[in-house]
A and B are shown apart, each in its own frame.
Chain A
């Protein structure tokens, strides 16, 4: 334990989305903006919008076919992104080194076999004993290993197996709050001396009708007409889900210096809260999480993890206008879609990348988002969870050489 909080550096980023893979690729793409188009699939998902993954060569980060077969897409996406982050941080594939790395994963879970589920429903229709149908069908049709692709903590388990990260393995669950808490817990442990280096992040696979069903039972999905997140309103409110894997290597400054690693940026704080969702209460909590405007407004880039739900957008817009007037805001869900557990890690990844390049991201919606007039020196990443949980991360550029 140390008496004074230690600096927490971001020394590796692994980002995979519908736009492609790698933080550099994402930043290069954004450099062509404004006026960028997201990569959205509607076919087969009408009336919904899905930011789907491009074709992936999983073997680049998950070399063994046997390992790939044990995972469903969500786990492959997370394991792949975690591998990218470790590689990007320059951490060798040496068990002695990787066994000292801690890990916190924000995960959902529950990949289904849609064909087996359909078979149960079909057979149950004609039966006066649906319980028996469930027993018989699941016992004979379920692949035994599918369970391992469903368990939330098996993303972390696969990262241990494939990438040999074994210092510790903790999985946080619960949509956006899981991603916020993962960053909070990892940074608090490093700042206090309880950990030196931690792989932290999450993954969300959007191409899952079973999940879209869950979300739309609550009327959460954007339907029929796509708009940028910041342009959604009461009449066009909702979530466009996006496949995202986002992992970061967080490290104490001492640890990074010892292995001569350069950092993208410093994670200054990661905080969260929750409570009842009345407008005033939500606005109060969100306001309290935001840092004071100590840097000039123009040099503060706000990366909003907004879901696309109009009532929350409205609260966020009002609070940001009051507390951080003049800071350019980018709702990155416009480009990546909404990725729940991975949303906050993805925002921090983009923030760190932008700060390291010293370039603000372009407006993702030229109607609602204004051009930046200065290079960013700090970034504020926001998350108002779709039903509950709020979080804010503060990321600052570092003096001297960075990535």
Chain B
């Protein structure tokens, strides 16, 4: 059990030290023999690494919305520009077919009519596009002038339009170069005031009002029936709940956004000049010193050269990046929820199981009552009362999820309580805490570990369920559940939006379950239902 084990070295052949194999070590050996569990474990680890390293991966920001790129299908080979053009052409081919300029066989006409009735838009598009391209090849179809000019305009757009991403804004502040994201509220406020050339009080006032109005919007979104004085009172209450620190936090986020926009605007002309002069090659990364004292690190790239492996969502955000950042949140919820529920569960279960009697009776009746409540409803009520953010989601899920663990630990402890080694410990005068922490918990740990690996998928499912209902993670953050929830409305038109996050989630849940099963078999060598 000791973490810092003294390393023992054999001094001579008479004084050998033989290291024993603990039960955990043996379980580990057995686990390694279970191939399915190992594969599951490896997949889980890969997921965890990808989620942890999301910031380092070469992916587009998960909250950067490029409106012209919305709803692009996933493609490994084509760039965003190609896909945009393809989509535009599909539309135009369809119109041409409607106008009778694109001629297809009667059978195909009937087929398209049938598809249109069944609103199988994708099939229609694919067919007209394929036939249209063939027709252009063999010269039986030509674009008319307005269509041609649309295509030319688009090609030009694709070749030239740039996307400027601000990576970092720093400023010379009191003699130091500071990243604005690392500055606190007062510094940011003073900086922004000096940048705009307004009084600090005026700015502070307007920042406060901004936060208040955004809080007001949230309040209205939660309860649309409020109005007049009631609404004002509700907003005041929310503002009080936020407190000064909370308000400053929100204001800081706003100010950082404004300064970035300011920097972007300032640098824009310089960048354009550089591009027009043709002296830089895209994509380009560079630093610009602006006249107002800001240093901006920028990345300039051709907007339509982007490749979306998993496509984009309805706002033109990269789905791959959203899935990766979503897995961050989903896995974090799985782990944090499990860890907190295990802590509470072990504590309650161990006390109830070991002390027994009245303590046990009342704790378990409390657990029974909690069990009796419909827990999803409880979570939903919690989220509705305390507001929809991730911390509250963690809290709400942990609140109801320790019950099973507490019962399980209690049962385990009760069976361990009458073991002779516990009696031995009691007969040598060990204290209750010593017995619980030295004997009981280590001996029930294997069951707890197994159970928690099975709990993680359950938590992810619950979070997904809540997010699917719109109660979980709020935009711009994503989780697997919210991605799937967003995709459902346009399921027929853009099935990839539903399928890709679902596959990602299902693979994770499968491997987690296989891993958990493997752990159970490894920790319990007596069970005979192994492969």
A and B together in one complex: no
Mark A residues whose CB is within 8 Å of B: none
Mark B residues whose CB is within 8 Å of A: none
